[in-house]
Amino acid sequence: MIPVAPHIAAMSPYALAEMEVPAGKSLISLSQNESLRAPSPLAAEAAARAMTRAELYPDPDWTELCQALGDLHGIPTQGILCGNGSLDLIGCVARAYADEKNAVLAPAHAYPFFRTAAQIAGARFDTAEEDGARVSVSALLAAVQPDTRVVFVANPGNPTGTRLTRSEIRSLRAGLRDDVLLVVDEAYGEFADHLDEPSFDMVTRGDTVILRTFSKAYGLAGLRVGWGLFPPEIAAQLRKVMNPNNISVVGQAAALAAVEDQAYMCETCTMTARLRDSLIGRLRDSGFRVADSFTNFALIRFDSVAAARSADQALQAEGVFPRSQAGAGLSHALRVTVGNPEALDLAVGILKAWSKGARP
């Protein structure tokens, strides 16, 4: 046996959605927060064109994509790094800044990959209580230890769907020591951009990173393109731990075309918000507990773990897959991605029937 590094041996593999479709049913995945529709046709065309250059390595500096993102958001191009999905960037931050001598902190119901990233880095992973399923700035600040090095907060949050205001994020930052890196993961930022001023200006402090992705509102989850705005010193360190050719020519071309088609992305957000709010309204009318969401999913909270499991089984029996949230410390909840209207009608119908019948 080749001995594996002890901190890796102690880890469990990251749990992705498991979907076993019953015989005779077709798969309706509402489990991974993918976009309810295909990406912009312009992105698909750009991807096809990029295939004709696929014998070449991709641009290691993502030059055109960074330029487009810089122009769109009014941010400095030099501070942008792109990753093979934002998961890649989360992992790079943890590998570069956390180690066995310090700790990573996140809210109790945070995105589970923050824990995985901390474990890969060999760091301790601490959590702070939330207020219901909403991040509590005061609890996070109270949970900071002398060896805390990185704080991860997704805003809006996954799987909670709740969000902190810009001023709450600012007061979190203001309450952290200067030697604690704050990473604000805005994977769902595009769904909430109309509610607040952007947070990108916080990066100029030198101790804060903002992450975004093409996987959600832009509908490019399958191409693996994430990005973030980083202080220059941090970007220089991350470059050392990154795969130097991390995004394919196809991914870069499609993401660039998607940025340039803001109308399409905004339309996706509008469609998603309308369907989401209708989904939440219908579920509430049927007696389900669902918090307001600022994302492309809704979190349904059941009275017990057994009830959540039973509802999950009722959905799965029809080929509909929500996502159980045990990994985020919410075993009594199911997360339902805002899919197409037919998929949502089916899910609501099954849940209504379940609530009238086999409720444990």
Contacts with ligand PLP by CB under 6 A lie at 33, 85-87, 111, 154, 158, 185, 187, 213, 215, 221, 226
Q: How far is the CB of 17 from ligand PLP (least distance, A)?
A: 12
Cβ count within 10 A of residue 229:
29
By beta-carbon proximity to ligand PLP, the closer residue of 123 and 154 is: 154
200/354 with CB nearer ligand PLP:
200
Nearer to ligand PLP, 159 or 231 (CB): 159
CB of 214 vs ligand PLP, minimal distance in Å? 7
* CA separation for the pair 286, 309 (Å, rounded): 18
Shorter beta-carbon distance to ligand PLP: residue 89 or 307 = 89
Residue of this chain nearest to ligand PLP (CB atom): 85
Smallest separation, CB 346 to ligand PLP (Å): 23
Please report which residue ranges of the chain form alpha helices under DSSP H: 6-9, 41-51, 63-73, 86-97, 113-121, 137-143, 166-175, 189-192, 232-241, 249-260, 262-285, 305-317, 341-356
Q: Provide the residue type at 144 as one letter.
A: V
β-pairing, 226-229 vs 208-213, is antiparallel
Cα 224 to Cα 38, 83, 185, distances in angstroms: 15, 8, 16
3-state class (DSSP) for residue 160: coil
Give Cα 134 to chain centroid, integer Å: 16
Smallest gap, in angstroms, from Cβ of residue 86 to ligand PLP?
4
Q: Angle at Cα 231 formed by Cα 229 and Cα 237, nearest 5°?
A: 105
Q: In this complex, which beta carbon is closest to ligand PLP, that of residue 246 or of residue 316? A: 246
Shortest Cβ distance from residue 117 to ligand PLP (Å)?
A: 10
Closest distance between ligand PLP and the C-beta of residue 54, in Å? 22
Query: Residue 46: what residue type?
Result: A
CA-CA-CA-CA dihedral for 154, 44, 269, 255, to nearest 10: 40
Q: Which is nearer to ligand PLP, 87 or 140 (CB)?
A: 87
